[in-house]
Amino acid sequence: MAEFDTLIKGGIVVDGSRMPRYRADVGIRNGAIARIGNLKNASAGKVLDAHGLIVAPGAIDLHTHYDAQIHWDPYCTIVSWHGVTSVTIGNCGFGFAPVRAADADRAMLCMTRNEAIPLAPMQQTMAFDWETFPEWMDHLERLPLGINVSQLVPVTPLVAYVLRDWEAKGRQPSARETAEIVRLLDEALDAGAIGWSSQRLPPESLASFQRDHDGTPFISDVLSDEFYLALATALGARDRGCIQYTQVTATRDGKRGAADDFAFIRQLAEQSGRPLLFNAITINDEFPESFRSQLRWLDETNARGIRVFGQASSVRIPVTFTLEDWNLFDQSPFWRDATLGTTAERKAKLCRPDIRKAMKEEYDSRAFAQSRPLLPFEIEIATYIAQHVDRPDLTKYEGLSVAQIAELDGKHVVDAMLDLSVADDLKTQWRTPLINTRPEYAQEVMTSPYTLAGVSDGGAHMKFLTAGIWPTDLLTWMVRDNRILTLEDAHHRLSGMQAWAAGMTDRGLVREGLAADLMIYDLDALRVGPVEIVNDLPAGEWRRIQRAEGYRWIMVNGQVTFEDGKCTGATPGRLLRFGSR
């Protein structure tokens, strides 16, 4: 019998701990790394020649929404194309357990606007033959998985389940209900959840940009401080797991409005005694004080021994959208109302003079803009480009910015954008500029000891965003092309640090005894492919994707899942209960 199942020969190991790289062979047995060293005389069932290649831990993506997509795509593309071997689902308080069968459609509707996951593919692939959280975990374990999956307990379905009301927005759970919620949280943590998650974007704030299907806030947006502290206490009592918490804190000038939010999030982490994964550190070239205020807060918090990690939107991608399904201006009541409903309803509202007038006043109000929290998706619409115009007689606008169209037609920018979209049956594709292009700012963020790279939001916003390219973008733009980070530091942020933050003990490093989750790649050849539209969802639905080049092999638990970008069909992924195998 061969000594190893697979032997990776001659590669340069970058192990994810930030230790210097070294040349070594890696022997894999039973899904784990059995030996690292000079193994040239060892026997193996299969030998992979890694000369000239980097052998590094597979990336761990702690912020995804693959809860639905995992039912039709066992690999959770696009992140798995870009070297990710473990994903965490159930982020931002969204997910599908506990849910009664009668509430299945309502639970799915929760994902349709804020995360922009189309409904029909979910309805076609999700049977809702589970109800409790432990039953959901057993369900996940039965799915074929091409990637490892860990699961957070999402607050929104948990509270809706106990209150028996998905519309209980603003009603605080009673003491008895809170006790029942905590009991079910305990049950979920016993079943192997790695913590709990929530989105809290207060509806009265200008940061409430991710709304429920009907434009109202989520249950999780309006729960009280006391309730969240009770959940933090419950996690602390178990002394295990983490909190994932989404709240917009950064203001443009780094000053206004955020102090209370920062203080409360720190209090949550302190109360639990557990790591808190905060979303998100956003880099916007025009407002560096915004991310700097977040970094200062992370420094001060961690200096006291309170573990708060900032998940950074490190990736450089534009947002591409049409007003047929766009929702990420939901923090503005005028845009929110006008982008609800069918195409015909949206068109009618986008033309209405009173709505237009309100939008223009809002746009023109500089005071409003200055006081607004900083969001990843800004209403700086003058800079948007009409990437594609559908109606043949309107293609003269293609490639022009909203500002240029406004000048050409002598119109206000809001009118310029909306007149074209409406005339084009809302099919005009708008592309935002990159907001994160300056290496020195990316370096400030990505060299903080407390920031994690990523926020793919994988499985969500799939018609707008391809943030799942983040590992490849980090390795090419930041490491290879701009030398913002060393390769060692980059891999630490891609895997070792992520595993530490989320309490995963058996992966994230290339070390003997740990899971053989690996990316084996040619750094010079690494490349992010162009944006493509593919119709590969159930029910004929489509999404935007970007592929990768340069990854020779991607390996999950010792088995190759992708070879030169081609899927092998292997499904060695595991449900990581408690973050481990």
Least Cβ distance, residue 557 to Zn ion (angstroms): 26
Q: Which CB, 80 or 91, lies closer to Zn ion? A: 91
Of the pair 91, 150, the CB lying nearest Zn ion is at: 91
Residue 329 vs residues 37, 114, 321, 335, 372: alpha-carbon distances, Å? 53, 11, 12, 6, 13
| Pair 133, 153: CB distance under 8 Å | yes
CB 467 → Zn ion: shortest distance, Å? 11
Strands (E), 389-472: 429-431, 451-452
CA distance 42 to 205: 62
The helix/strand/coil state of 243 is: strand
Count CB neighbours of 367 within 10 A: 7
Other CB atoms within a 10 A radius of the CB of residue 35 amount to 17
Tallying the residues shown for the chain, one arrives at 581
d(CA 425, CA 323): 9
Specify the residue, 91 or 331, whose C-beta has the smaller distance to Zn ion. 91
CB of 454 to Zn ion, least distance (A): 11
For the bound state, the minimum distance from the C-beta of residue 92 to Zn ion, rounded and expressed in Å, comes to 4
Nearer to Zn ion, 4 or 278 (CB): 278
Tokens 């053989």 identify what position? Answer: 516
> Nearest approach, Cβ of 64 to Zn ion (angstroms)?
8
Give whichever of 91 and 271 is closer to Zn ion, judged by the CB atom.
91
Q: For Zn ion, give the closer residue by CB, 248 or 414.
A: 248
Nearer to Zn ion, 501 or 555 (CB): 501
Count the Cβ atoms, other than its own, within 10 Å of residue 112: 17
Q: How far is the CB of 261 from Zn ion (least distance, A)?
A: 17
Q: Which is nearer to Zn ion, 6 or 244 (CB)?
A: 244
* 81: nearest Cα among 555, 548, 542, 560: 548
Q: Taking CB positions, which residue lies at the least distance from Zn ion? A: 92
The CA-CA-CA angle for residues 487, 492, 498, to 5°, reads 145
Contact 425, 394 (CB under 8 A): no
> 65 φ, ψ to 5°?
-130, 45
- Cα Rg for the chain, rounded, in angstroms? 23
Question: 83: buried, middle or exposed (CB in 10 Å: 19+, 13-18, 0-12)?
Answer: buried
Amino acid (1-letter code) at residue 340 = L
- Distance of closest approach, residue 293 Cβ to Zn ion, in angstroms: 21
Nearer to Zn ion (CB atom), residue 91 or residue 282: 91
Question: Which one, 92 or 560, has the nearer CB to Zn ion?
Answer: 92
Taking the complex as a whole, how short is the minimal distance between the CB of residue 375 and Zn ion, in angstroms? 13
Residue 401 or 456: the one with the smaller Cβ distance to Zn ion is 456
Which of 118, 120, 110 shows the shortest CA–CA distance to 90? Answer: 110
Strand pairing category for 44-49 and 195-199: unpaired
User: Least distance in Å: CB of 150 to Zn ion?
Assistant: 15
Adjacent-strand bridge partners of 44: 4
201 or 308, CB closer to Zn ion? Answer: 201
CB of 315 to Zn ion, least distance (A): 14
- The bridge status of strand 195-199 relative to strand 276-282 is unpaired
- List residues near Zn ion by CB under 5 A: 91-92
Q: Which is nearer to Zn ion, 377 or 551 (CB)?
A: 377
Closest distance of CB 88 from Zn ion, Å:
10
3-state secondary structure of 287: coil
Task: Tell me the CA distances in angstroms from 434 to 76, 301, 428, 440, one per residue in order.
Answer: 25, 30, 19, 15
Closest CB 457 distance from Zn ion, rounded Å: 5
Q: Are 497 and 446 in contact (CB under 8 A)?
A: no
What is the longest distance spanned by two Cα atoms in the chain?
A: 78
- DSSP annotation of 401: B
CB of 63 to Zn ion, least distance (A): 6
